[in-house]
Chains A and B, each alone.
Chain A
Amino acid sequence: MDTPVRRILTGVAALILVIIAFFLIRLYIEARPVFSAYGATHFVFDNAWLPSKNLYGAWPLIAGTLITSAIALIIGVPIAVAAALFVTELCPRPLRATLTILVDLLAAVPSVVYGLWAVFFLIPKIKPAEQWFSDTFSFLPFVGGQVAGPNYFIAGLLLATMIIPIVSAISREVLATVPQEHKEAALALGATRWEMIRLAVLPYSRAGISGAAMLGLGRALGETIAVTLVIGNSAHLGSTIFSQGYTLAAVIANEFGEAASNPVHRASLIAAGLVLFLLTLVVNFIARFYVTRAEKKMLGGAPVAEPVATGAAA
C-alpha cells in the first residue's frame, strides 16, 4: 500500500483507539467518587442497590445484564440462524423475499414499543406457562418457586426477539457466501438437503455466524428501555430466572433524573455505565478470540492474517 494512504488509515485507526481511551478515562474520572467512597470491589460485587440507603452494590445489575443477554442469545441465535437457513437453502424461491422482509421488519419496531407489547401482552399471556415450567422443572438450577410478572426470562425473551433480525440478516449474508461447489459436492455424495447444510454450509459459515451472534450480544447487553419495562427493577439479585431483577442499562435510565442532586448516586450511575462499557469490551474480546480460533482451526494452522486493529495501530 502506498505510504500516504497507509498513514491516513493508521491515523484513523489510532483515532478510534484514542476516542475509546478518552471515553474510559472520562467515565472513570466521573465515577471516582463512588469508588473512593466504597471501593471498586464493593461496588462491583455487593448484592444490594439501594440509593435511598446509600447502598451501591452493582452486582445485581451486572448479573442481570449477563443473565438476560445469555437468555437472549440462547433463544434468539438458534431461531435467527434457522430462519436464515430456511430462507437461503430450504424455502421455495418465491417466498424468499417476503420472508426476508418480514424478519427484517422486526428490526424496525422501536424498542419502547417492544417493551410496551411485552408489558401488556407477553407478560400476562406467558405467565401461566412460566409457572408450569417453574413447577415442573423445579429440580433444575435457577428454576422453581413463584414466578414474578416481570422477570429475567421475559427480558431475555424480549431481547431475543430484538436481536433476531440483525443476527438473521448477517447469517443470511454469511450463508450466501458458501461456495456453490461445496454444496454441490455434498449433494453429489448423496447428501439430503439437511445433510448438505451440516456438511458444507454450517462448517463453512461457523465463524461468520459467531460474529453475527456477537453483534446480537452487543445489542442485548446495551438494550435499555425495553428491558427497563419488563425486568422488575429489583434491588437484589433474583434466585431464579423467573425472579425480578435489574440491569446496568435499566438502572441508568431509571435513576439518572433523581441522581442529579446526589453526587455519589450520580457517580455510581456513571460507574455502572463504565462497567457496562467494560463488560461489552470484554465480551467482545472473548467472542473475537473464539471466532479467530475457529477460523484458525478451519484453516488448519495456516497463518492467519493479523487482526486488523493491532495491525493498523502498530
Chain B
Amino acid sequence: MTPEPTTTLTDVDLPETPLTTPEVPAHESASEAAANGKNGRRLSLQDLKAFYGDNEAVHGINLEYNPNEVTAMIGPSGCGKSTVLRCINRMHEEIPGAYSTGKVLLDGLDVYASDVDLTAVRRAIGMVFQKPTPFPTLSIFDNVAAGLKLAGIKGVEASDRVEWALKGAGLWNEVKDRLNSPGIGLSGGQQQRLCIARTIAVEPELILMDEPCSALDPIATLRVEELIQELKEQFTIVIVTHNMQQAARVADRTAFFLLGDLVEVGPTESIFTNPTDSRTEEYVSGKFG
C-alpha cells in the first residue's frame, strides 16, 4: 500500500462496506446480544509502518491480536505504542502530515482499503483515551448515547443500550439515579468508566485502550482492570500500559516494543518470567525504561 495523504482519507463518504457496525436485530436487545455470546474479532497488523512527516516512528510491525483476549503493549516512552494503537482505528491520520503503510486486518478485512467507510472503522474499533474525555455539556445518559446517536440508534433501543453499557462498565449502580446530571460531575474514575461505557455502547468489535488508568487512583484502577476482564468475554481488547504489574494482571498476551520495533510477543507469563530476547528481560526486570 502506498502512503496516502490524510485529506483523501478523511472526508470522503464511501459506499457501504461489510465493515459497518453489526446492527443488533430489532427483536434482540443489546443485553440479549451480549448473552448470546457476541465475539470479538481477530486483528492482525502486517508490515505496519507509521510516519509523522518524514519521521518513521513505527518500523514495519507484524502482530496478531487474538479474539476475546487482552493483549498488552508495553515498552519505554516514545517507542511507538500509542502510534500503533492509533493506526488501528485510523486516528493516526488525523495528525497533520501523519500517515501509515502496511495492513491492518480486522477478521481479514483491511481497514485501510479504499472502499472502507472511515466512520464505520472507528465505530467497529472503539477507543478509550488516557484522560477521561466526557463531552462537557452532555448528561451522563447523553454521553453514553452519543455514539448511538451517531449510528442512528434512538428511542427505546438507545435507552436499553445505555443501561446495558453502563452496567457493562460497572457504573450503573452509581449513576442510575442521576442519568440527567452532567457527565463531568463524576469523579475521575467514574468518568473513565463512563468513557468505557460510551465506547462499548456502540458494540465495537475491538476496544483499544491507551493507558486507561494512568489518571486514576489505585482503587479506580482496580475497578477498571476488573472491568477489562469482564469485557474480554465479548470484545477483543488491546491495552497500552506503562505499568508492568497491570500488564501482568490483565493481559493474556503481551507485546514488547522498543524504538518503533516489536521486539517480542507472547503469553504474558512467559514475557515476564522467561523472555527470549535479552532487551525484553532488561525492560521487564526494570533495568531501563
Contacts and interface: CB of A to CB of B under 8 A. Distances in A.
Contact of B122 (A187, A204, A297): A187
A300 to B, nearest CB: 3
Contacts of B184: 299-300
A80 B114 CA distance: 35
Interface residues of B, number: 33
Nearest to A194: B11
A302 to B, nearest CB: 7
A203 B119 contact: no
Interface string A171-192: 0000000010110111111111
B91 A300 contact: no
Contacts of B7: 92
A206 B11 contact: no
A189 B122 contact: yes
Contact of A302 (B150, B185, B198): B185
Contact of B136 (A182, A190, A192): A182
Interface string A69-83: 000000000000000
B133 A190 contact: no
A169 interface: no
A103 interface: no
B213 interface: no
A203 B146 CA distance: 13
Contacts of B123: 189-190
Q: Is the interface of A mostly helix, strand, loop or mixed?
A: helix
18 contacts: A179-B133, A181-B131, A184-B94, A184-B129, A184-B133, A187-B122, A188-B122, A189-B122, A189-B123, A189-B146, A190-B151, A191-B150, A199-B150, A298-B182, A299-B182, A299-B184, A300-B181, A301-B182
A93 B97 CA distance: 10
Contacts, number: 77
Nearest to A192: B119
What 6 A-B pairs have minimum CB-CB distances, sorted nearest first? A300-B182, A190-B123, A203-B137, A189-B147, A185-B133, A188-B127
B119 A191 contact: yes
Nearest to A179: B133
Contacts of B182: 298-301
A186 B202 CA distance: 13
A301 B184 CA distance: 11
Nearest to A188: B127
A187 B11 CA distance: 12
B136 A188 contact: no
Given A189-B202, A190-B119, A298 B136 contact: yes
Given A190-B119, A190-B151, A191-B150, A199 B91 contact: no
Contact of B11 (A193, A297, A301): A193
Q: Is the interface of B mostly helix, strand, loop or mixed?
A: mixed
Nearest to A200: B135
A179 to B, nearest CB: 8
B78 interface: no
Contacts of A179: 133
Given A189-B199, A297-B137, 14 more contacts: A92-B7, A181-B133, A182-B133, A187-B91, A188-B127, A188-B129, A188-B199, A190-B202, A199-B150, A203-B135, A203-B138, A300-B182, A300-B184, A300-B185
Interface in B82-123: 89, 91, 94, 96, 119-120, 122-123
Interface in A40-88: none
Nearest to A190: B123
Contact of B135 (A93, A182, A302): A182
B10 interface: yes
Nearest to B181: A300
Contact of A193 (B10, B147, B151, B185): B10
A195 interface: yes
B169 to A, nearest CB: 15
Task: Count chain A CB atoms within 10 A of each CB in B120, B126, B133, B185 and give the residue with the most.
Answer: B133
Nearest to B138: A203
Contacts of A184: 91, 94, 129, 133
B195 interface: yes
Contacts of B185: 300-302
Interface string B1-24: 000000100110000000001000
Nearest to A191: B150
A187 B94 contact: yes
B96 A189 contact: no
B150 A189 contact: yes
